Amino acid sequence: MALQPSLRPLIIAGSPNAPQTLEVFLDYVCPFSAKLARAIDSVLVPLFAPGGQYDGKVKVIFRNQVQPWHASSTWVHEAGLAVARVAPEKFWPFSVALFKHQEEYYDIPTSTLTPVQVREKLAALAASVVGEGKKSALLDHLTLKTTPNGGVDVTEDLKYTIKFSRQNGIHVSPTVLFDGLVANEISSSWGEKEWTEWLAKKVV
């Protein structure tokens, strides 16, 4: 349940001080992660929001789950982390938008693009969410400009998220943890009925 301060925008629902924690390990180019993301947005976010049934009781943390067998997975997660820096309050709205457009970043559609072109495409999508005025800042965070092998501005954030997954033995996306333990019963196909029944048993 640890989260370094620079990644606090990854708390996507509920109060940061809520005593119980739901951690969702999602990959932006995983279709099953997209299904779970839709449920998070339509079911969980309202339940944990101010005035919601579980207001102040549960927080949701987005965990970037890079799947390296998809070449674009690194680039899409870099984009999410760049938005977290440039427009922290827009991290989840951008994530929702990226999931809606995920097929554009699948293996075949990106196979004829350079990494620079993919990052530019992602910056354009992000700008549609955070505003065109922040597009240059987004691109700056996604530009290779240090040493020949030094990565981009958000590479250290990306390393943190990958190391966190590895040390906790997270392999597949999506994976959900509740209060630090893997909740294997949770399915990406869950809707409002399944989620509300499960939460009724789990939330103290």
Asked if residue 64 has pLDDT above 90, the reply is: yes
Kindly state the average pLDDT of the residues 151-180: 97
Of the pLDDT bands very low, low, confident and very high (cuts 50, 70, 90), residue 146 is confident
Q: Cβ contacts of residue 29 below 8 Å, gap of 6+?
A: 67, 70, 72, 73, 76, 102, 105, 106
The per-residue pLDDT for 84 is 98
Range of the domain at 176: 5-202
Share of the chain above pLDDT 70, in %: 100
Q: Considering only CA atoms, which of 5, 143, 99, 100 is closest in space to residue 135?
A: 143
Token representation of residue 84: 């977290």
pTM for the model stands at: 0.96
Q: What is the pLDDT of residues 122-142, one digit of tens each?
A: 999 999 999 999 999 999 999
Task: Say if residues 49 and 55 touch (Cβ distance below 8 Å).
Answer: yes
Contacts 24+ apart (CB under 8 A), 131-138: 131/87, 134/86, 134/87, 137/86, 138/79, 138/82, 138/83, 138/86
Q: What is the pLDDT of residues 91-120, one digit of tens each?
A: 999 999 999 999 999 999 999 999 999 999
Structural domains in the chain (count):
1
- Assign residue 62 the CATH number of its domain: 3.40.30.10
Asked if residue 1 has pLDDT above 80, the reply is: no
Kindly state the average pLDDT of the residues 58-68: 97
What does the mean pLDDT of the chain come to? Answer: 97
